[in-house]
Each structure stands twice: as structure tokens, then as C-alpha cells.
Amino acid sequence: MEILAILPEISLVVFAAILIIIDLRLPKGRKELLAYITFAGLALIFVLAILFSRPADGGDPAIWFGMLRHDLLGFTFRLVFLAGAALTSLLAVEWDSISKRGEFYILLVFSTLGMNLMASAGNLVMLFLAIETASIPLYAMAGSMKEDDKSTEAGFKYLLFGAMTSAVMLYGFSLMYGFSGTANIYALAEAFTSVPSTPLFASLVLVLVGFGFKISMFPLQFWAPDVYEGAPTPVTGFLSTASKAAGFAVLARVLLAVFPLADWQIILAVLSAVTMTLGNLVALWQKNIKRMLAYSSIAHAGYILMALAAGTEFGVNSMLYYIITYLLTNLAAFGFVIVYYHQAGSDEIESYAGMSRRNAWLAFGMLFTFLSLGGIPPLGGFFAKVLVFSAAIDAGLVWLAVIGVLNAVIGLYYYLNVLKVVYLKRQPGDEIPMRINPVHGIVLVVCVIGVVLMGTLMAPWFRLTAEAARSIF
């Protein structure tokens, strides 16, 4: 049934309405309960999606008059978004500027709804509406610390640049519709066979502007460091994982369904090389850990673009595996930043001196996380990188894989630099034990275990991503 196909989206709308009512009824001193209610609701929707919304093999994936696609690619991304939102709601606990405000959790749910629709959109109109549904709440969430000038600036910059790139992307959509006479994404390719190459290329470039902003791809990455630094850290974690995954979901679907591989493969390959190189080189000089992770996020976007540039089933498979691994790893990384900020009140890397003496288990988890980001075996980040490099080589992009390997070495340097500060440097007061909120501890344990399992027990996850990739070829 088509109703069951969109059960997660219906549930998210209903749940947002319930959250509004609960927020109005809860006394001010009990607002922190909203984090746990949001987590429980999103976890329930996650289970409902698995039980009732998994697409069956065979049949036409187009539903609701072609506005949506009910396939394994969209289903897999749905689970990624729901998991990312659920973990983010728990990471917001004790972050006073947002955790006691019901609108934060309502915006989180609506943004997740937009991302779900982005991943499953089969029509240009639905795709644009989904992108805006996901983006507008994020603008507000990034600037939600009204007493902090950096947060206000982050929200304004994100809104300004997001609106500009959305306008450019919408113009690209209008060209695609004007030249083809259809807004159905999967009917565009056939209609474009009679369209001259110049307007086709123009629409491709304009569409890449909008999608490139979402994934912080060069030359549209300039917003990420300021927004990541200024936004509340739980929001930053959500931006760097679920929001980025949504951008790759629509980029993969539109490029593979509409445009011939020869038109965009070399463009995407070059952008991948420049994006990862820029992100890694600039990250080397960062003193603030959130800005460092922002440039790291740009570099990882380059790695994921490498898999997509392959334009093959194995390439999409590698992209999905990398995104799932990156979701767990980066949420863990920002989780450690959140925990330590509550103790030290600073995001400067030097302030992490002596962290291993204050809490050995926290430092140990951070070690696993940063080594995974750097691509050290047997953690998930290593096998994710091996997969994207292999996809590039299989597609004949050996030069791109070589650049990727060199960048992985550069990236490992600044991750190890943070760990050097954590384990080898000292500062006054580093003998004082560090308290960890049990909720944050649970999230960090889940993410770190997930990172380890993605590297040591990869078969089930790889099988899921392989089936999802096969569904669009």
C-alpha cells in the first residue's frame, strides 16, 4: 500500500504535532524531558519504518503519481536520517540554550521529514519542496543561541547562502522542465535525448550549485567552518552527518537518473580531488576543534564524491557504506566535543591537554573515533576509504584514487595532532576527574561500537548498501 510506503513521513508529521502539544503542557522546569520524548518517538518511527515500509522486490517503485520513489535507496537513507536525528536529540541534553526549548526538537523532526522526502523524491517539484523543508529548520537551529553572536551570525550566513544557492538550483530545475516538458526525474533522461548539449550542461551546472552547497563541495564550502563553529554543537553534528547525507542522496539520484555519465563524471572527479585537498590542507592549521572538524567534513565530502564519480553500482554501494560509517563516526566526534565543552568551556584544541588523565575511557573512545576518521584499520573508516578508492579504480579513475590516498595521509596528521594533545600534553587541574552525563555516555558508546562493527563485521552493512545501490541501476 502507498500509505505504508510513506508511514515514516506520516508518523513524523503526527509526532511533530504531539511535540507541540507536549511543549505547551510541560512546565518550564521539566522541558528537558522533551529530549527523551523526541528520542523515543524517533526510535519508534525507525522501528515502524523497518517493519512496514521496506520496499518489496520487483514492482514499480514510483508511488503517489510519480512524486516519490519507494526503493531501497530511499529506504536506507530514511534509516540514516532517523538514526542521526534520534542520537542528536540525546546529544542536546544539558545544552541549556536548546535542550529546554521545545521548538528545537520540533524543528529537528521537521528537518528529518524533509530529508526523508529528499531521498525518495521522484519529481522536481517534490524535490525542491523537500529540500526547503529540510533546510529552513536547519537555518533556525544553527542560530538558536540568541545570546551568542557567533550563533546568530552562523544562522544568518547559513540562511543567506542557502537561499542564494536554492534560487540558482531552482533556476536549473526550471531549465530542466522547460527543455523536457516534464518534472518527473525518471522521465527527464528520455526527454533530454533531443535537447542540445549546451542547455543540458547549463542545467547540470546550476543544479550542482544547489546540491554542492548541501554537501559543502568546492567552491561552495565557504559557509561550513563559520556555521559549524557558531551553531550549537549538537546542531553541528546533525549538519555534518544527516544533512550532508541528504545532499548526497539527491545528488546521486538526479545525476544517475537524468544526465549521461560522460557529461558529469570528469567534472565530479575534479571537484572531488579539489574538495578533499582543500579540506585537508586548511584543516592542518586550525586551532579550534569545531573548525577543524568542519574542514575535515569538507574533505570527507570529497571522498564520498569520489565514489559517486565512478558512476557505477559499486560506486553507489561504496558511497552508502561511507555515509553510514561517517554518520556514526562524526556524531561520536561531536559528542566528545559536547562532553568536553561542558567541562572545559572551550573548543580550542589546546584546552584538551590532559583529557586522558581526567577521564581515560572518554579519551579512549576519542582515540577510536579519530583513528577511524583518519582511516586506520580495523575501524569502519578504513574499510569505507578502501571501498571508495576501489570504486574509483574500477571506474578507471586511478589518478583520483592516488590523490585520495595522499589526502588520507594528510588527514591522519591533524587527527593524530588532537590525540597528541589529549594524551601527551598537560595543563593545571588535569588531575580533576571529569563527569559525563550518562545519556551522552550511552550515545558515545553506541557510536563507537558502531564504528568498530562497521570495520570488523562489515558483511551485513555491506549487503544492505549493495541492495540499495542495485535498486537504482
Q: Which residue has the cell 563527569?
A: 435
pLDDT at 393: 93
Read off the pTM.
Answer: 0.93
Average pLDDT over residues 32-46: 90
pLDDT at 346 over 90: no
Q: Which residue has the cell 548526497?
A: 248
Output the nine-digit C-alpha cell for 404. Answer: 585520495
Contact 207, 130 (CB under 8 A): no
Which has the minimum average pLDDT: 105-109, 220-224, 326-330?
A: 220-224
pLDDT at 320 over 90: yes
Pick the more confident residue, 473 or 244.
244
Position 58 confidence tier, pLDDT thresholds 50, 70, 90? low
pLDDT at 195: 63
Give percent of the chain with pLDDT exceeding 90.
Answer: 30
The β-bridge partners of 184 are: 123
Average pLDDT over residues 309-320: 91
Q: In angstroms, rounded to a whole number, what is the distance separating the alpha carbons of residues 26 and 348?
A: 36
Q: In angstroms, rounded to a whole number, what is the distance separating the alpha carbons of residues 431 and 359?
A: 9
Q: In angstroms, rounded to a whole number, what is the distance separating the alpha carbons of residues 267 and 201?
A: 11
Position 102 confidence tier, pLDDT thresholds 50, 70, 90? confident
pLDDT at 409 over 80: yes
Average pLDDT over residues 126-143: 90
Average pLDDT over residues 4-32: 86
Position 326 confidence tier, pLDDT thresholds 50, 70, 90? very high
pLDDT at 430 over 70: no
Q: In angstroms, rounded to a whole number, what is the distance separating the alpha carbons of residues 320 and 316?
A: 6
List all residues 6 or more positions away from 309 whose beta carbon is below 8 Å from its beta carbon. Answer: 265, 268, 269, 272, 315, 392, 395, 397, 400
How crowded is residue 28: how many other Cβ atoms within 10 Å of its Cβ? 6
Which has the minimum average pLDDT: 128-137, 185-194, 304-313, 431-440?
A: 185-194
Contact 327, 314 (CB under 8 A): no
Both ends of the chain: CA-CA distance in Å?
A: 24
pLDDT at 431 over 80: no
pLDDT at 59: 65
Average pLDDT over residues 63-78: 87
Residue 168 vs residues 183, 208, 214: alpha-carbon distances, Å: 17, 9, 13
Which helix (H) or strand (E) is 305 found in, with range? helix 289-310
139-196: per-residue pLDDT in tens? Answer: 888 887 777 777 888 888 888 888 888 899 998 888 888 888 888 888 887 777 766 6
pLDDT at 13 over 80: yes
pLDDT at 194: 65
258-273: per-residue pLDDT in tens? Answer: 888 877 889 999 999 9
- Burial of 33-72, coded b for 16+ CB within 10 Å and e otherwise, reads ebbebbbebbbebbebbeeebebeeeeebbbbebbbbbbb
pLDDT at 221: 81
Which has the minimum average pLDDT: 119-128, 188-197, 423-432?
A: 188-197
Pick the more confident residue, 193 or 122.
122
Burial (CB count within 10 angstroms: exposed 0-12, middle 13-18, buried 19+), residue 424: exposed
List all residues 6 or more positions away from 409 whose beta carbon is below 8 Å from its beta carbon. Answer: none
pLDDT at 386: 92
Q: Which amino acid is at 173?
A: F
